[in-house]
Amino acid sequence: MDHSDPLERATKPRNRGETWTDEQFRAARDSDLEERTVDVRSSVIAALSCLLLAALLTSGKIVEIAERQELGDTRDRQLAVAERLDQVANFFSLNRPYDLILDIRGAGKDVGERVDDLSALAASTTTVPPTTSAPTTTAVPGSTSSTTTTTTTLPILRTITAGRPLTVYVAGDSQAEYLGQAITTEHPDWDLEVEIADRISTSLARPDYFNWPAELAAVMDDRSPEAVVLFIGANDHQDMASAAGSRLVEGSPEWRAEWMARLELTLDLLAADDRHVFWVTQPPMRDGDLLEGVALINELAAPVVAARPHVTAVDIWDLFGGDGGYVDDITTDDGNTIDARVDDGVHLTRSAASEVADLVFDEMATVWDFGD
Amino acid sequence: MLFPTFTFAAFFAVVLPVSWVVRQHATAWKLFVLSASYLFYGYWDVRFLLLLAGMTVVNEIAAIAIHRSGNARVRKVLVITAVIVDLLVLGFFKYYGFFLDSFDSVFGLSGPALTVILPVGISFFTFQAISYVIDVRRRDCPPAPLLDFAVYLSFFPQLVAGPIVRATEFLPELRANRVPDSLETGRAVVLIGRGLFKKVVVADFLGRAVVDDAFGTPGEYGALDILTGIYGYAIQIYADFSGYTDMAIGIALLLGFRFPQNFDRPYAAVSVQDFWRRWHITLSRWLRDYLYVPLGGNRRGRSATYRNLMITMGLGGLWHGAAWTFIVWGLLQGGALAIERLISEIRGQPDIEFDAADVRIRELARLHSGAEVDAWREDPTSPVPFSPLEVRRLWLGRLITFHFVCAGWVVFYAGTIEGGGLSAAGDMFTGLLSGWTTTPELLNPLVALVIIGAIAVQYVPPLLGRQLSAMFSTLQPTLVSIGFAVWIMVVVALGPEGISEFIYFQF
């Protein structure tokens, strides 16, 4: 009997108990499943054609990725190629299906993703009058030195109750995720309603990628949270584009002035009678360049925050090593040593985020009455 | 660079045609592929290249020395030395902090605090290097020329997250200098397309929509959401890892190499033993051949068998990460395997290779007429004529196994959380005890559809998948090219913003 012939298998009678061996069965089954192969030349041409066609179909995404690169010659080159590709795709309408799928999905619904420009926002935002304030001191867990936080002594805004919990909006880059989760869970006896808005790779430096001022303005308008916790700055160590389109080199006087202006705009549009903002400083970073970058951000942010009575700085620099440099572990208030940073030497661990959350809670307690 | 990125597409668009242009010239091709692989790996961190090159040279020297030695004792010493060196390298880069913390906790001994960066893929290529020197010692393969071995160890499709390809599978193809004149392009496209969808759409979606929140703040959610998170993670880790493997196998096919299968519908497993024959198959067989069998396997009595299972799976858990939770997870798997074995022995069931289709055919033939069996073979996608009792036992086994595996994943996930530990897993389990009437926030129709769909796909008969693949391969290359480009567009459009790193990269 030819076991590879289906007709023969079907028609030949079998005795009860007679079985095929595994090999016979597999041979019969696999003979129906031979895959057609393609010659190498045709395969390679097909693969390259496929990649080219896919690039044209997704040219919008490629342009977006190129735009996100740090300002510089590499970005300019990538953007030039991407835009040329997009022009070709546009000519043949090859990029329409991709845009259609995005529209159906409702992607890019955040205001911050859709608005590139800061100028309209700057024109409509009222500058908060600067104020000088007496610094108060907050003890930093596990640190031998005290960390200074600057706040104007304000009357308690209100008493928080279960019927009227405190609405908290935690915003920032990827660091904001764990901090937001810690704020959500670490004080179960407080009545908090927390919304976490972490947007990976975002910064104030690149509103073309994600426009935080526009996003915050929209959120304040829509939901008006009473507490806003901002944890952003680690991605700001890059060149910026000015309103006029010129490139501002990181660290230059023009760059510093522009970044401070953006922070001022961001904090001013958050000002409201019943709202308080908590600006979390950056911790030291393991990478030398990044360490310099965040130190600069902290230096520029300090006077901007200090000049605004509705903003409190939560300084975590010393908690994570301070001027002594980056540390992997920290000692908590109760004497435990915890891993402070994940493997990338940037992000805080959940435990470390809990420590930061505790500092935020300490500041919140000076603004609202939680009935403790 | 990650597979599902435009950067890799640009890289591969150059490597693929150049590779085939120079393929006729064996040495030139090997040098080109080696350079491309080093470029691929160096994209993460140039310093990693020193490690890879160093491992290549050390293991090659060891293999040559082992092969040349005629003295069995010397060969044994050499292979043990090579394995120890490999494990020390792995131990330093991956487990230094873990061992330091553990010794400090247990013995109060502290050591120098170092910041050790974990090289991507070190667990995978270290295991490949170990299998190479052991196979040389066992005379399963002769030592390869340095260039060949360097290509094997660094070959970019499988370098950073497997599958763990044996030297005996890869090196003969290099040695033969065989130049294929045709490729299984259809199968490659199906694999890459499927892998892309699983990773970019399914895994990343579930991670962001459900898993991160459920595991991050379990106290904020009711039991239904916790359960959704657990199921979601089971699907996420499967889609993430098997998606990567599918792409790796498909890319290797386009370069003319056939990699072993690494996943075989693991959530259709009827027992834990069956699960480990379907999940990360290349790791399972590595552990079996290089750890379990050398320890004695099941040849030295019941107690020794259970001990060997626990050691093998415990170390298998440790391989995944430097945390006690991974060891606990591994020991749970080992314990389950031991219990299943004990039950089988009590019932008097033989220890047979569990291949569902073929074993059942043998059993069926004793119960049904030849015509019924043949009719089933004519159409293997039709329901198998099992007895109702057999069907019930089959599905009960699947239900129990799936939920045991999911419970294990909760412990596993806890190990991936910095400072998480078993308490993080405990939070998830206690979250299941209450809040069943709480309105779910994470569970919605789309999430349910993705989870149920992903599980349902596990039950599609493999034969049907192969029939579809065979049918797909008959299409004209032009049609395949256009269809696949459209598929890539759909995946990119449906994927979330940004691509998260593969879960298994951290191992």
pLDDT of residue A170: 97
ipTM, 2 decimals?
0.83
Which among A32, A43, A65 has CB closest to B183? A43
pLDDT at B322: 83
B174 and B149 Cβ atoms separated by less than 8 Å: no
As a whole number, mean pLDDT of residues A268-272 equals 93
**CA dist., res. B482 & res. B479, Å (int):** 5
Phi-psi category of B444—alpha, beta or left, where left has phi over 0 and alpha has psi -120 to 50? beta
The C-alpha of B391 sits at a distance from chain A's nearest C-alpha, in angstroms, of 21
Determine the residue of chain B that is closest to A23 in CA distance. Answer: B358
Nearest to A46 among B373, B419, B480 (CB): B480
Chain A residues whose beta carbon lies within 8 Å of the beta carbon of residue B375: 10
- Taking alpha carbons only, the member of B138, B192, B390 closest to residue A47 is B192
Task: Label residue B84 exposed, middle or buried (CB < 10 Å: 0-12, 13-18, 19+).
Answer: exposed
Identify whether the C-beta of residue A29 lies closer than 8 Å to the C-beta of residue A20: no
Residues from chain A contacting residue B463 (CB–CB below 8 Å): 29, 33
**Distance (Å) from the C-alpha of residue B231 to the closest C-alpha of chain A?**
21
- Chain B nearest-CA distance from A76, in A, is 16
Catalogue the active-site residues of B: 320
pLDDT attached to residue B94:
86
- Residue-wise pLDDT for A177-203, tens only, equals 999 999 998 888 899 999 999 988 899
Alpha-carbon distance of A347 to A217, in angstroms, equals 27
Poorest-pLDDT segment among A97-111, A223-237, B305-319: A97-111
How far is the C-alpha of B274 from the C-alpha of B337, rounded, in Å? 10
Two structure tokens written together for B4: 């599902």
Strands A329-331 and A247-248: unpaired
Task: Say if pTM beats, i.e. exceeds, 0.90.
Answer: no
What average pLDDT does the segment A65-78 reach? Answer: 84
Q: Considering only CB atoms, which chain B residues are within 8 Å of A343? A: 117-118, 506
Determine the 3-state secondary structure of A260 from DSSP.
Answer: helix
Cross-chain Cβ contact B16/A48 below 8 Å = yes
Which of A9, A51, A69 to probe the B interface (max B CBs under 10 A)?
A51
CA distance B153 to chain A (A): 25
Q: How many residues make up chain A in this entry? A: 372
Give the model confidence (pLDDT) of A329-342 as tens digits: 888 888 888 888 88
Angle subtended at Cα B253 by Cα B248 and Cα B259, rounded to the nearest 5 degrees: 60
CA distances from B10 to A84, B1, B3, B5, B108 (A): 16, 11, 11, 9, 52
Helices B421-431 and B388-416 pack at an angle, to 10 degrees, of: 130
Residue of higher predicted confidence among B111 and A79: A79
Question: What pLDDT score does A302 carry?
Answer: 97
Instruction: Kindly list the residues from chain B whose CB atom is less than 8 angstroms away from the CB atom of residue A46.
Output: 185, 477-478, 480-481
Question: Per residue of chain B (507 residues), what is the pLDDT tens digit?
Answer: 878 788 898 999 999 999 999 988 889 999 999 999 999 999 988 989 999 999 999 999 999 999 999 899 999 999 999 999 999 999 988 888 777 777 777 777 666 666 677 788 899 999 999 999 999 999 998 999 999 999 999 999 999 888 999 999 899 888 776 788 888 888 899 999 999 999 989 998 998 889 988 888 787 788 999 999 999 999 999 999 999 999 999 999 999 998 998 998 899 888 898 899 889 999 999 999 999 999 988 888 889 999 999 999 999 998 988 888 899 999 999 999 999 888 887 876 544 333 444 445 544 544 445 555 555 555 555 555 556 666 777 788 889 999 999 999 999 988 776 555 677 788 888 888 888 888 888 898 999 999 999 999 998 877 677 777 778 888 888 999 999 999 999 999 988 765 555 666 555
CB A1 within 8 A of CB A24: no
Interchain pair A10, B374: CB under 8 A: yes
Mean pLDDT, residues A245-250 taken together: 89
> How many whole angstroms from its chain centre is CA B290?
17
CB contact under 8 A, A46 and B12: no
